[in-house]
C-alpha cells in the first residue's frame, strides 16, 4: 500500500486500486466484483464524509472497515441456521424445515430440464403439476385439489372465483390478521367480494349467518383461529351447521384452515388441531391451508374439495398469477409421498414434534459432557417448546434444553449468532437456553463447537 495516512480526499485510493488489494480477493471470488465494488464505494463515501468533518484514517484501518462490511454479507444472504429456540415451525427461520431425502431426490428432478408441463407417456404437452393434484386427493380423500404460492393467495382466488361482486358471510370473531400486518378482511376485499360480518367478537351462532343471507350472497366463509385464542364466554358455529345451511341455500361453503394439520396433534401431548380430513368429512365445498406450517412442507396454499368447485377455481385467470413453480411442485410431491408411506422422518416438523424427551435428554447430556472443560456454568433444564407458525397459539409442551449462565448473556447470544452456521437460542430470565428439540441430531456437533468458541 503506497501511502498509509489518509488526511485529504486525494489520499483516498481509486476504487479499482482498492479492489486490487489482496485482502479483498477472496470476497470478490465469493460475492462477485460488482457486489464488492458497491461496498467499497459506500466505504469511500463514508470516508469522504469523515474527512470533511476533520477526521483522518489510514489504509490499514480503511481496508478493515471494508472487510467488516463484507463480512456482514454472509449473514444477510439466506443461509442455514441451527434453530435452538424450541419453536418447531419458526416463521422467522423458514417455517417448517424440509427433509434431507426430499432434496436428494429433488436434485435429479429439477436440475436441467424436467417434465413440468410435458406428458412423457403421450409425448405431448401436459398440465403443470397434474399428478401433484392426484397425490393431494389420494392423501386426503378429497375429490380434487390444486396448489398456489401461499394460503392468502388461495383465499383470494377462491373468493374471487365464487364471490366476485357478491356477498361473503363470515363471523366477526374470525377476522384474523396474519403476519406482516396483512389482514384477512383486506385480502378478501381485494378479491372483489363484499365481506359481511355477522355475530359478535366472542359469539356467532348459525342464525347469525342465516339472517344475513340474501339474493346477493354466494359464500359462507369460516376461518380457523390458528394464531390466537378466544376464551371465556364464547361460541362458534360448527362446520357441519354451515355445510347444512350452505346446502339448504345453495351457497359455497369455504373453510380457511390455515395451519394445515394432516396428523392428530394430540398424540404429541398438544390440543387437537383441526385436521384437513375434519374439514373434508364435514362436507365443505373447499378447504384451504398453508403448506409450510403443520403440514411440514414448502410455502404453498393448498385448495382441496369438491371436483366441480376446484375446477372452477383452476379456470380463474388469476390462477396463473399465483401458480407454483417446478421446485415447489417437486417438493410437495415428495412431501405427500412421505406422508403416504408414513415416512415421518422425512417430514422434520412431525419428527421434531414427536421426539421423545428421553432421547433429547441423552443428547443434552452428551453436549454438556463435551463442554466440561469450558469455564462456564452449563446445566440441563426442562423447557417448554412450541408448535409456532401461528399454530396452537400460546400452547407449549415439555422439552429439554441446555442453560448457559453468563453475566453477559446478550453478548453470548450474539457470539453464537456469529457462528457459521449461526446458532439461534432464546434468552429467558437473563439466561441463554438452547432447546434440544429443534436442533437436529447431526447439528449437536455444530452446537458444541459453537459454544466452545463463544465461551472461550
- Give the mean pLDDT per block of 10 residues along the chain (456 residues): 76 93 95 96 94 88 94 92 95 91 86 90 90 92 94 93 93 73 74 88 88 95 72 76 96 92 84 89 96 94 97 96 94 94 92 94 96 86 87 80 88 94 91 96 96 91
Q: How is 149-182 classified by DSSP, letter by letter? A: S-HHHHHHHHHHHHHTTSEEEEEGGG--B-GGG-
Q: What single-letter DSSP state applies at residue 272?
A: P
What are the chain's domains? 5-76 (no CATH), 82-94+351-455 (3.90.1150.180), 100-346 (3.40.640.10)
User: Are 57 and 1 spatial neighbours (Cβ–Cβ below 8 Å)?
Assistant: no
- Residue 2: the pLDDT is 52
Per-residue confidence (pLDDT) for residue 231, from 0 to 100: 59
The angle that helices 444-455 and 357-370 make with each other, rounded to 10 degrees, is 40
pLDDT at 221: 94
DSSP codes, 326-370: HHHHHHHHHHHHHHHTT-GGGSHHHHHHH--HHHHHHHHHHHHHH
pTM of the model: 0.89
Nearest one of 8, 4, 19 to 60, comparing CA atoms: 4
pLDDT for position 200:
83
Quick one: cell of 360? 433429547
pLDDT of residue 57: 86
192 phi-psi bin (left φ>0, alpha ψ -120 to 50, beta other): left
pLDDT at 341: 93
* CA distances, 371 to each of 255, 282, 375, 445 (Å): 50, 53, 9, 11
Sign of CA dihedral 178, 184, 190, 191: positive
Amino acid at each position: 500500500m503506497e501511502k498509509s495516512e489518509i488526511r485529504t480526499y486525494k489520499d483516498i485510493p481509486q476504487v479499482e486500486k482498492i479492489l486490487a488489494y489482496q485482502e479483498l480477493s477472496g470476497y470478490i471470488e465469493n460475492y462477485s466484483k460488482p457486489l464488492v465494488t458497491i461496498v467499497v464505494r459506500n466505504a469511500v463515501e463514508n470516508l469522504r464524509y469523515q474527512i470533511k468533518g476533520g477526521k483522518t484514517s489510514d489504509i490499514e484501518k480503511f481496508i478493515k472497515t471494508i472487510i467488516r462490511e463484507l463480512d456482514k454479507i454472509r449473514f444477510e444472504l439466506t443461509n442455514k441456521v441451527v434453530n435452538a429456540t424450541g419453536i418447531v415451525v419458526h416463521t422467522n427461520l423458514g417455517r417448517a424445515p424440509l427433509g434431507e431425502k426430499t432434496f436428494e431426490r429433488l436434485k435429479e428432478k429439477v436440475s436441467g430440464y424436467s417434465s413440468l408441463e410435458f406428458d412423457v407417456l403421450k409425448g405431448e404437452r401436459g398440465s403443470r403439476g397434474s399428478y401433484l393434484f392426484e397425490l393431494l386427493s389420494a392423501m386426503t380423500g378429497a375429490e380434487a385439489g390444486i396448489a398456489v404460492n401461499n394460503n392468502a393467495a388461495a383465499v383470494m382466488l377462491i373468493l374471487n372465483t365464487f364471490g366476485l361482486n357478491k356477498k361473503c358471510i363470515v363471523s366477526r370473531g374470525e377476522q384474523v390478521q396474519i403476519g406482516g400486518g396483512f389482514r384477512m378482511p383486506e385480502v378478501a376485499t381485494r378479491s372483489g367480494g363484499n365481506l359481511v360480518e355477522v355475530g359478535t367478537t366472542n359469539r356467532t351462532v348459525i342464525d347469525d349467518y342465516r339472517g344475513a343471507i340474501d339474493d346477493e350472497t354466494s359464500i359462507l366463509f369460516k376461518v380457523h383461529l390458528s394464531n390466537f385464542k378466544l376464551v371465556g364466554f364464547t361460541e362458534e358455529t360448527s362446520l357441519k351447521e354451515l355445510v347444512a345451511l350452505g346446502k339448504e341455500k345453495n351457497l359455497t361453503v369455504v373453510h380457511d384452515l390455515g395451519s394445515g394439520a394432516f396428523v392428530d396433534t394430540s398424540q404429541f401431548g398438544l390440543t387437537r388441531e383441526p385436521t384437513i380430513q375434519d374439514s373434508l368429512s364435514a362436507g365443505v365445498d373447499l378447504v384451504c391451508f398453508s403448506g409450510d406450517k403443520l403440514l411440514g412442507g414448502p410455502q404453498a396454499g393448498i385448495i382441496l374439495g369438491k371436483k366441480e368447485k376446484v375446477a372452477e377455481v383452476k379456470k380463474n385467470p388469476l390462477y396463473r398469477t399465483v401458480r407454483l413453480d417446478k421446485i415447489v411442485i417437486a417438493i410437495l410431491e415428495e412431501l405427500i409421498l412421505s406422508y403416504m408411506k408414513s415416512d415421518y422422518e422425512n417430514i422434520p416438523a412431525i419428527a421434531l414434534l414427536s421426539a421423545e424427551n428421553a432421547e433429547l435428554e441423552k443428547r443434552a447430556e452428551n453436549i454438556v459432557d463435551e463442554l466440561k472443560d469450558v469455564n462456564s456454568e452449563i446445566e440441563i433444564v426442562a423447557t417448554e417448546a412450541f408448535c409456532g407458525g401461528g399454530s396452537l397459539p400460546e400452547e407449549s409442551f415439555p422439552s429439554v434444553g441446555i442453560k448457559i449462565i453468563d453475566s453477559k448473556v446478550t453478548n453470548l447470544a450474539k457470539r453464537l449468532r456469529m457462528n457459521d452456521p449461526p446458532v439461534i437460542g432464546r434468552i429467558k430470565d437473563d439466561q441463554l437456553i438452547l432447546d434440544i428439540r429443534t436442533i437436529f441430531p447431526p447439528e449437536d456437533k455444530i452446537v458444541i463447537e459453537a459454544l466452545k468458541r463463544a465461551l472461550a
